[in-house]
Amino acid sequence: MTWLFYALGAAIGMAGADALTKHHLSGYPPTLALLVRTLFPALALAPLLLFVGPPHLEPQFWLWLGAAMPLEILAEFLYIKALRSSPLALSVPYLAFTPVFIAATGLVLLGESVSLLGFAGILLVGAGAYYLNLEPDMLTRPGGWREPWAAIARQPGARYMLGAALTYSFTAVLAKGTVLAANSLAATALYFLGIAVCSSVALSLREPGILRRAFGNIRVHASLGLVLGFSALCTFLAFAQVETAYAIAVKRTSILFSILLGAWLFHERRLPRHFTAGLVMVGGVALMVLK
């Protein structure tokens, strides 16, 4: 059961990274924030290559990594846009839709059906999203029951985070593939170094000098990199011991930690409602991975 502690560590690290991103990177251009969140975790994880033996990489490793790199960068971009445009309590909970999307893609691509518990979990995730956007006076108006769904469509943070959740439904599987193809902790460092190189090259071609700007506020950026690196390492350690769905389900408890941090650090209002909605969504995720 050590995977459970690793996954919880990943959740705590992700919530801390959300708070740091919201506090320090909100005023950054999205491209600079993207570079910071991809480059500095890779630098934090790079020393792993010195402390573990050389990995025996199977050819599939490079296929998994090549497929993951553009998707990871896209997911990070959408994630940053979500955190910048909405309070943590109104954006982060939509990460709970990742396993919902996995259920849908599994049905379409692999013919995998959803169990009754899984279907109940999907309903709970949807109910949590509905309650998150429900205002007391909505249900008193004719047709007001539809307004929470319209509110989701109006929330830019919700839209961006739903896009990130969809992308993460693919990258989680690809990341697990690199772990299996490397059978070494070095896979964690190589995975994020690959993403960092890809983003650094692409963004430097688009904006010459962006690397220099990324190393400008080194204390803050290095701190964020350490927290994200810690979360990534815990995630890969959990992947090595348990199915991807279980690791991601526990990691999604970061939703609750982020809501609490949003109320504490940024004085976001309506903590009881937001936390209850997040709890319902996390409960739905838990049902979806039960066998």
Tens digit of each residue's pLDDT, the chain (291 residues): 788 899 999 999 999 999 999 999 988 999 999 999 999 999 999 998 888 766 778 888 899 899 999 999 999 999 999 998 888 888 888 888 887 887 776 666 546 566 788 788 888 888 888 888 777 666 567 766 677 777 778 888 889 999 999 999 888 888 888 888 887 778 889 999 999 999 999 999 999 999 999 998 899 999 999 999 999 999 989 988 887 778 888 888 898 899 999 898 888 888 888 899 889 888 888 887 775
**Residues 6 or more apart from 63 whose CB is under 8 A from it?**
none
What pLDDT is recorded for position 287? 84
**pLDDT at residue 123, as a whole number:** 84
pLDDT score at 138: 67
In which domain, by residue range, is 184 found?
A: 2-289
The reported pLDDT for the residue numbered 140 is: 67
* pLDDT at site 19: 93
Question: What pLDDT was estimated at residue 202?
Answer: 93
- What was the pLDDT predicted at 154? 83
Decide if 224 contacts 251 (C-beta within 8 A).
no
CA distance 5 to 8: 5
The two structure tokens encoding residue 126: 């949807």
Which pLDDT score, from 0 to 100, does residue 81 have?
92
Does residue 241 contact residue 7 with C-beta atoms inside 8 Å?
no
Query: Torsion angle, CA of 288/242/95/114, rounded to 10 degrees?
Result: -30
Total domains present in the chain: 1
Rounded distance between C-alpha atoms, residue 78 and residue 165, angstroms: 9
User: In this structure, is the dihedral angle defined by the CA atoms of residues 25, 97, 238 and 274, taken in order, positive or negative?
Assistant: positive
Alpha-carbon torsion (39, 41, 47, 51), positive or negative: negative
| Residue 107: per-residue pLDDT | 65
DSSP SS3 for 185: coil
CA 156 distance to own-chain centroid: 17
- Give the amino acid at 267: H
- Measured over the CA atoms of residue 155, residue 161, residue 46 and residue 51, the dihedral's sign is positive
pLDDT at 226: 97
